[in-house]
């Protein structure tokens, strides 16, 4: 005979009790589950930079080409990678190369990944905090190229749009991996270090070109090579084609799908526009297949 209370079997009560205990034990787990991160335009770009062999191979290819071009430039005294800024009898000047830093020789994809997962965007305060961690790592091939140039007697200059306030941490990051630092020559040239050193890099290229023959210019953004990088897409294309013989010769571009003037050109480089409007304008310039 089944034991019962008030004509109700013990088995039924036990089943109900077990159900309540199970629900109670899973409730905190369900409550602790984090929501999915918001959609981000950066996701595939950062994934490619951090995880793909294609990105690493692309960077290694660019810096392998840079070695070849460096040797050619050393043998040709008329060669210059700063055609606008190099004036006078530059042929007798000692040789130098100009390197951008961010996404050219140092990989900051950790910061981009943080923005992707947090659903946030660039902010000078968080960027400064990241720079001060001194955790950026070399782009594949960059350190080897810089050391190769230095061993050839070529001065390596770093023209970066990091700010003068960020220079100490930047130097530590470069020194951490053994990038050549110029000896008694100041080779780290950030923005605001001199009054006329703004985000356009022409004044800093001219500063180097006064005393050095610039053999190569290596960067990841159009603005690393010309000051006319903030135009419309049509204007940018025109400037690029005006210099088409320089690409892969004295100007070498490193791939950076995460950010740059390519992204802001569709919305007029105006980051004050709402994010939704910026995305709509970016989508609007795509050349899409109409579909089946």
In CATH, which superfamily holds the domain spanning 43-270?
HAD superfamily/HAD-like (3.40.50.1000)
pLDDT at residue 27 tops 70: no
Domain coordinates in residue numbering, the chain: 43-270
CA 245 centroid distance within chain: 25
> 71-98: per-residue pLDDT in tens?
999 999 999 999 999 999 999 999 999 9
Looking at the whole model, is its pTM more than 0.85?
yes
Please provide the DSSP assignment of 194-234 as one string: STT--SS-HHHHHHHHTTSEEEEEEESSGGGT-S-TTS-HH
What percent of the chain clears pLDDT 70, i.e. is strictly above it? 88
Q: What is the DSSP letter of 188?
A: E
Which residue is associated with the tokens 């003037």?
261
Cα 74 to Cα 83: distance, rounded to the nearest angstrom = 16
- CA nearest to 271, candidates 163, 201, 199, 192: 199
Which residue is associated with the tokens 């135009």?
231
Question: φ, ψ for residue 74 (rounded to 5)?
Answer: -65, -30
107, 173 Cβ separation under 8 angstroms: no
The per-residue pLDDT for 39 is: 81
Cα 137 to Cα 110: distance, rounded to the nearest angstrom = 10
> 205-238: per-residue pLDDT in tens?
999 999 999 999 999 999 999 999 999 999 999 9
Cα 249 to Cα 181: distance, rounded to the nearest angstrom = 25
The per-residue pLDDT for 1 is: 44
List the beta bridge partners of residue 218: 99, 252
Residues 2-29, mean pLDDT to the nearest whole number: 50
Q: Which helix (H) or strand (E) holds 20?
A: helix 10-32
Please provide the DSSP assignment of 234-291 as one string: HHHHHHHHHTTTTBTTTEEEPP--SSSHHHHGGGTT-TTS-HHHHHHHHHHT------
Cα 99 to Cα 42: distance, rounded to the nearest angstrom = 25
Pair of tokens at residue 22: 């199970």
Question: φ, ψ for residue 251 (rounded to 5)?
Answer: -115, 125
- Reported as a pLDDT band with limits 50, 70 and 90, residue 6 is very low
Beta strand pairing call for 8-9 and 4-5: antiparallel
Q: Which helix (H) or strand (E) holds 189?
A: strand 188-191
Three-state secondary structure call for residue 109: helix
> 127-143: per-residue pLDDT in tens?
999 999 999 999 999 99
Which residue is associated with the tokens 């579909």?
291
Residues 7-17, mean pLDDT to the nearest whole number: 53
Q: What is the DSSP letter of 34?
A: P
pLDDT at residue 28 tops 90: no
């Amino acid at each position: 005979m089944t034991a019962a209370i008030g004509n109700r079997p013990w088995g039924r009560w036990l089943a109900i009790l077990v159900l309540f205990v199970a629900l109670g034990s899973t409730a905190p787990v369900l409550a602790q589950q984090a929501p999915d991160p918001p959609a981000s335009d950066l996701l595939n770009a950062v994934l490619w930079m951090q995880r793909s062999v294609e990105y690493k191979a692309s960077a290694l290819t660019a810096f392998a080409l840079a070695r070849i071009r460096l040797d050619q430039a050393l043998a040709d005294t008329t060669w210059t990678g700063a055609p606008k800024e190099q004036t006078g009898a530059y042929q007798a000047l000692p040789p130098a190369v100009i390197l951008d830093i961010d996404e050219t020789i140092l990989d900051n994809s950790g910061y981009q990944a943080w923005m992707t997962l947090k659903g946030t965007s660039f902010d000078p305060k968080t960027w400064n905090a990241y720079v001060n961690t001194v955790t950026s790592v070399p782009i594949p091939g960059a350190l080897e190229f810089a050391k190769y140039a230095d061993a050839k007697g070529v001065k390596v200059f770093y023209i970066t749009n990091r700010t003068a306030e960020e220079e100490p941490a930047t130097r530590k990051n470069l020194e951490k991996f053994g990038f050549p630092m110029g000896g008694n020559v100041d080779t780290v040239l950030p923005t605001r270090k001199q009054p006329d050193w703004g985000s356009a890099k022409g004044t800093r290229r001219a500063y180097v070109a006064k005393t050095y023959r610039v053999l190569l210019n290596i960067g990841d953004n159009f603005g690393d090579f010309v000051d006319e990088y903030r135009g419309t897409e049509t204007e940018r294309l025109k400037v690029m084609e005006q210099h088409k013989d320089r690409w892969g010769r004295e100007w070498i571009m490193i791939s950076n799908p995460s950010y740059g003037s390519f992204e802001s050109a569709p919305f007029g480089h105006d980051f004050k526009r709402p994010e939704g409007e910026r995305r709509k304008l970016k989508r609007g310039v795509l050349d899409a297949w109409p579909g089946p």
